Amino acid sequence: MRELALNILDIAENSVKAGATLIRISVKAEGEELRIEISDDGCGMDAEFLKRVTDPFTTTRTTRKVGMGIPLFKMAAEMAGGSFSIRSEKGVGTTVTATFLRDHIDRAPLGDLSDTVVTLIGGECKSEFVFEVSVDGKGFVFDTRELKAELDGVPVGEPEVLVFVRDMIKENMIDIGGETL
Ligand SMILES: Nc1ncnc2c1ncn2[C@@H]1O[C@H](COP(=O)(O)OP(=O)(O)O)[C@@H](O)[C@H]1O
Ligand SMILES: [Mg+2]
């Protein structure tokens, strides 16, 4: 089974490609629901295009080559008793929301979120990221703008910085009881 952290990586990479300056990633487990939301201020999509990226199988006759990042995330949510939606506006941005029943037997595990964080922030891109994770009311926020202010000019992509961030995310996940999500 695929890990949801990999779905998050895929969807956030779309935001990077869309030229977003700010990407917010939220993972929230509350009661019986797990809710994952990725929102950006990138180039957005128009309504007609959006319909095609969400349901690639209904559009095999179009000439556009369609990827699978969005349909796979949608499928992961729907097979776990959840829901999926994308709101997007051309020139404004995009928000992808997926919900899951936490205890559904077909719900993929979250997996290693610290890997996803490090891969995203270590990439060559102009996007800033805000990660917000909470489990039953306990949570943490990690904002690359705050990290950069502390780093005083040291690039985020430096290996020591990425190791520091990975360890910090892992520790935070353990603290809030999120490592087994
Ligand atoms: N956040 C986004 N902002 C703008 N366009 C997007 C966004 N997410 C997806 N898209 C568009 O939808 C397409 C399909 O995305 P996806 O299903 O992840 O497949 P892939 O990334 O492999 O093309 C992308 O190629 C892109 O054109
Ligand atoms: Mg993609």
CATH number, domain of 57, equals 3.30.565
The span from the CA of 126 to the CA of 113, in Å, is 21
For residue 66, how far is its CA from the centre of ligand 2 (angstroms)? 9
Q: Count, in order, helices (H) and strands (E) of the chain.
A: 6, 6
pLDDT digits (tens, 9 = 90+) for 94-114: 999 999 999 999 999 999 999
Q: Is 67 in the pocket of ligand 1 (CB under 6 A)?
A: yes
Structural domain contains residue 181 = no
Q: Residue 70: give the domain boundaries.
A: 4-175
Radius of gyration of the chain (CA): 16
Residue found under tokens 């080559």: 65
Number of domains in the chain: 1
Structural domain contains residue 38 = yes
Measured between alpha carbons, how far is residue 124 from residues 15, 81, 115, 118, 153 in Å?
A: 13, 36, 16, 12, 16
List, in order, residues 6 or more apart from 14 with CB less than 8 Å away.
69, 70, 94
* pTM for the whole structure: 0.94
Ion ligand 2, residue ranges at CB < 5 A: 10, 14, 67, 69
Structural domain contains residue 129 = yes
Structural domain contains residue 180 = no
Structural domain contains residue 96 = yes
Structural domain contains residue 40 = yes
pLDDT digits (tens, 9 = 90+) for 10-64: 999 999 999 999 999 999 999 999 999 999 999 999 998 888 888 766 554 555 5
